């Protein structure tokens, strides 16, 4: 168990939209950390049971996001009629949707620190009553399933099955910066065979395609955490082209990674390896031996279990760490992969690479969390009968980019789309 003075916050996560589509946005916000210490969690979610075998139409939805120290991003949703507001992690590493309930156990501490869903205050509530339990890599919970109307990014009336959390024994949830989790993984991963919210919205015609994308704002100032875009992506968020990588295991968003390099010296994942793009994981994780070698090559030294620190003053001279995906190198600079616990350049900083051994048959695996997904926009495309699922990656545009340049990018994108 981590020391009580450590603030625990879990993290959070195709073809683009066709001509004429209007993007629907879910904004992300930032939470100012002050002088609190970040202890990122592994974020590796495993279902409590084994996976089973595998009036908005075409308008994509934009959901604003919040963030904590450039490693934790969350946004707002509404549940019920009238909507009861919650802050959730939009998590590509799981497929269930849950929030705390007013019916939670009296000794379930996390319930008292977060918003709780009150079924008696909603005219659209429908009881299911099926019990569920979810075991995440850093916490567990159980409760009952219910049905309700979801409000997200301006969409109203999406009828979804969600979990009312009744018992959250893990302290991680008590100190979390969010109320619940909305999973964006594949249906195969969903505990209890529950249909994920994304699939439900597509089935009800609220989204034309099961595509979504994340832009995670990495600028150090301001409260804007970026956007989750449902139904497509916004070309103003990235520098084209997008590189698409096929999903190899449609449960988590798992792809084949060809290699990892540290500067010009160290090569990891030399024979290729599996990698998961997970918005619910703060850091980049990998097998302990390889992460130890990576952090040693950078000059880091061990801190907590699997985590490493470095002197903040060394950031400008740190070597790049590069990931080869889809035949393209995706580079991270020291500025990208070092997390400043305090705003000062003096003292110690947290390296964004954490050891995490995932046992067979699922592992070994790398997890590319928010440290990777901040510098790069990711487009998650579930595919269709003609094309399998895939992930598109492109370098994110800086928020410093002016409105004229962003409008030019959108115009260029529209001119280049097939009619």
pLDDT at 69: 55
pLDDT of residue 418 exceeding 50, the answer is no
Lowest mean pLDDT among 43-57, 144-158, 317-331, 350-364: 43-57
Q: Does domain 233-415 have CATH number 3.90.25.10?
A: no
Lowest mean pLDDT among 60-74, 277-291, 388-402: 60-74
pLDDT at 373: 95
Percent of the chain with pLDDT over 90: 59
pLDDT of residue 40 exceeding 90, the answer is no
pLDDT band of residue 360 (cuts 50, 70, 90) is confident
Question: Could you tell me which residue, 269 or 112, shows the higher pLDDT?
Answer: 269
Q: State mean pLDDT over 64-88.
A: 81
219 belongs to the catalytic site: no
H-helix or E-strand containing 135? strand 126-136
Q: State mean pLDDT over 107-128.
A: 92
pLDDT band of residue 75 (cuts 50, 70, 90) is very high
CB contact set of 129 (below 8 Å; sequence gap of 6+):
144, 145, 146
Q: State mean pLDDT over 385-400.
A: 89
Q: What angle do CA 26, 97, 22 make, to 5 degrees?
A: 25
pLDDT at 253: 97
pLDDT at 124: 97
pLDDT of residue 65 exceeding 50, the answer is yes
CB 381 within 8 A of CB 277: no
pTM: 0.84
Identify the active-site residue in 91, 179, 234, 370. 91
Q: State mean pLDDT over 383-396.
A: 94
278 belongs to the catalytic site: yes
pLDDT of residue 407 exceeding 70, the answer is no
Where does CATH 2.40.70.10 sit in the chain? 59-206, 233-415
Among 113, 177, 100, 108, residue whose Cα is nearest residue 144: 100
Q: State mean pLDDT over 149-162.
A: 92
- Residue 96's alpha-carbon distances to 83, 90, 213, 306, 367, in angstroms, are 20, 10, 18, 27, 19
Question: Could you tell me which residue, 219 or 352, shows the higher pLDDT?
Answer: 352
Among 227, 184, 187, residue whose Cα is nearest residue 396: 227
Identify the active-site residue in 179, 278, 336, 370. 278
Q: State mean pLDDT over 291-295.
A: 96
pLDDT at 340: 85
CB contact set of 256 (below 8 Å; sequence gap of 6+):
245, 246, 248, 272, 273, 274, 275, 325
Q: State mean pLDDT over 394-405.
A: 68
pLDDT band of residue 10 (cuts 50, 70, 90) is very low
Lowest mean pLDDT among 56-65, 75-84, 158-167: 56-65
pLDDT at 167: 85
H-helix or E-strand containing 322? strand 321-325
CA atoms of 197 and 206, how far apart (whole Å): 11
Residue given tokens 């210490």 in the structure block: 37
pLDDT of residue 102 exceeding 60, the answer is yes
Dihedral (C-alpha) 42, 43, 48, 49: value to the nearest 10 degrees?
-100
pLDDT of residue 197 exceeding 80, the answer is yes
Q: State mean pLDDT over 167-181.
A: 83
- The fold for domain 59-206 equals Cathepsin D, subunit A; domain 1 (2.40.70)
pLDDT of residue 345 exceeding 90, the answer is no
Question: Could you tell me which residue, 322 or 29, shows the higher pLDDT?
Answer: 322
Lowest mean pLDDT among 95-99, 189-193, 313-317, 410-414: 410-414
Residue given tokens 């969690």 in the structure block: 41
CB 184 within 8 A of CB 196: yes
Lowest mean pLDDT among 10-19, 274-283, 296-305, 386-395: 10-19
CA atoms of 12 and 369, how far apart (whole Å): 9
Q: State mean pLDDT over 282-306.
A: 93
């Amino acid at each position: 168990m981590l020391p009580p003075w450590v603030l625990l916050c879990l993290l959070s996560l195709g073809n683009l939209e066709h001509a004429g589509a209007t993007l629907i946005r879910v904004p992300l916000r930032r939470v100012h950390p002050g002088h609190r210490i970040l202890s990122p969690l592994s974020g590796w979610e495993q279902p409590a049971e084994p996976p089973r075998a595998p009036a908005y139409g075409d308008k994509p939805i934009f959901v604003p996001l919040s963030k904590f120290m450039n490693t934790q991003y969350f946004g707002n949703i509404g549940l019920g009629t009238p909507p009861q507001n919650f802050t959730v992690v939009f998590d590509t590493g799981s497929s269930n949707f849950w929030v705390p309930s007013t019916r939670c156990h009296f000794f379930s501490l996390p319930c008292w620190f977060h918003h709780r869903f009150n079924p008696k205050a909603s005219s659209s509530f429908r009881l299911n009553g099926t019990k569920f339990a979810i075991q995440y890599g850093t916490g567990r919970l159980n409760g009952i399933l219910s049905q309700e109307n979801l409000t997200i990014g301006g969409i109203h009336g999406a009828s979804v099955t969600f979990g009312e959390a009744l018992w959250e024994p893990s302290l991680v949830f008590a100190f979390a910066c969010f109320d619940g989790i909305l999973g964006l993984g594949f249906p195969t991963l969903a505990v209890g065979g529950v249909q994920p919210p994304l699939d439900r919205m597509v089935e009800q015609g609220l989204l034309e395609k099961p595509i979504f994308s994340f832009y995670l704002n990495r600028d150090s100032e301001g409260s804007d955490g970026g956007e989750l875009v449902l139904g497509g992506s916004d070309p103003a968020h990235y520098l084209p082209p997008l590189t698409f990588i096929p999903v190899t295991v449609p449960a988590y968003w798992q792809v084949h990674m060809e290699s990892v390099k540290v500067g010009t010296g160290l090569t990891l994942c030399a024979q290729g390896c599996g990698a998961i793009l997970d918005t619910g994981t703060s850091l980049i994780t990998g097998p302990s031996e390889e992460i130890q070698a990576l952090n040693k090559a950078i000059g880091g030294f061990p801190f907590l279990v699997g985590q490493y620190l470095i002197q903040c003053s060394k950031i400008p001279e740190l070597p790049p760490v590069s990931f080869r995906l889809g035949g393209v190198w995706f580079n991270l600079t020291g500025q990208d992969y070092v997390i400043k616990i305090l705003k000062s350049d003096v003292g110690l900083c947290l390296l964004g690479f954490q050891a995490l051994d995932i046992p067979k048959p699922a592992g070994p695996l790398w997890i590319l969390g928010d440290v990777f997904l901040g510098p790069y926009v990711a487009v998650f495309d579930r595919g269709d009968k003609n094309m399998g699922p895939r992930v598109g990656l492109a370098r994110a545009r800086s928020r410093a980019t002016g409105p004229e340049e962003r409008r030019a990018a959108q115009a260029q994108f529209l001119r280049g789309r097939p009619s």
